[in-house]
Amino acid sequence: MSKEKFDRSKPHVNIGTIGHVDHGKTTLTAAITKVMAEAGGAEFQAYDQIDKAPEERARGITISTAHVEYETSNRHYAHVDCPGHADYVKNMITGAAQMDGAILVVSAADGPMPQTREHILLARQVGVPALCVFMNKVDQVDDEELLELVEMEIRELLSSYEFPGDDIPIVKGSALAALEDSDATIGSEAIKELMAAVDDYIPQPERPKDQPFLMPIEDVFSISGRGTVVTGRIERGIVNVGERSRLLV
């Protein structure tokens, strides 16, 4: 599905994946695009298409924020995949500041780790209004009681940072299983359950479309063949291709 085929009349939500390094944020992002693509709501983005920078591929981690888009039956989503490595927390903050809601990814095998805690804190500080949780890699844990303990630990951690830990949806699954079509129950079905939870739990943001266009600039890039490109989140109004806008410094 090309970008032109997305239904722009659907409500738009900025979403993202946050969590500890190697807990599966980018794998989950790729899995969501795969499952949504099978329903006609995305263009599948493989793992190595999301981790595009040479250093990311070499080290197997996400450094910069990456952007994909997809849609469910109810909404259109712009998804930012945030880096989990401690050295790149500035890039994570930039990504989180764009979000209307976030998916916290926690490995069932490890439980909450240092960047799990740090990302929850940063989400609270930059004003991410709501979180859903994907407990990833459940295929690596055979003990159901251990999964329950990890879930309890996640809920307690969320509550300690003033998120409603008892109410936040926690979906258990395996993003890799969804990518590899190896186990539908913990793979594609879990991804569908997660996106249903995101649709239901992440509130629809109010967007004043009738006001003048305003987009705070978060970063500036120089792209070969394109020139200077700015990025940011539109706070109000609508802009169309070819329209003139004013830069305020």
The catalytic position among 17, 26, 62, 116 is 26
- SS3 of 123, please? helix
* Cβ(213)–Cβ(60) below 8 Å: no
Asked if 22 is an active-site residue, the reply is: yes
Of the chain, the end-to-end C-alpha distance in Å amounts to 38
Catalytic one of 12, 20, 25, 34:
25
Q: Which amino acid is at 114?
A: P
Asked if residue 170 lies in contact with residue 154, where contact means CB atoms within 8 angstroms, the answer is yes
Nearest one of 14, 15, 17 to 27, comparing CA atoms: 17
The catalytically annotated residue of 67, 76, 85, 139 is 85
- Cα separation, 10 vs 179, in Å, equals 26
Q: Which residues contact 10 (CB under 8 A, 6 or more apart)?
A: 71, 74, 75, 76
Q: 70: which strand partners?
A: 42, 77
Q: Which of 12, 20, 22, 65 is catalytic?
A: 22
The verdict on whether 209 is a catalytic residue reads: no
Q: Among all residues, which ones are annotated catalytic?
A: 22, 25-26, 85
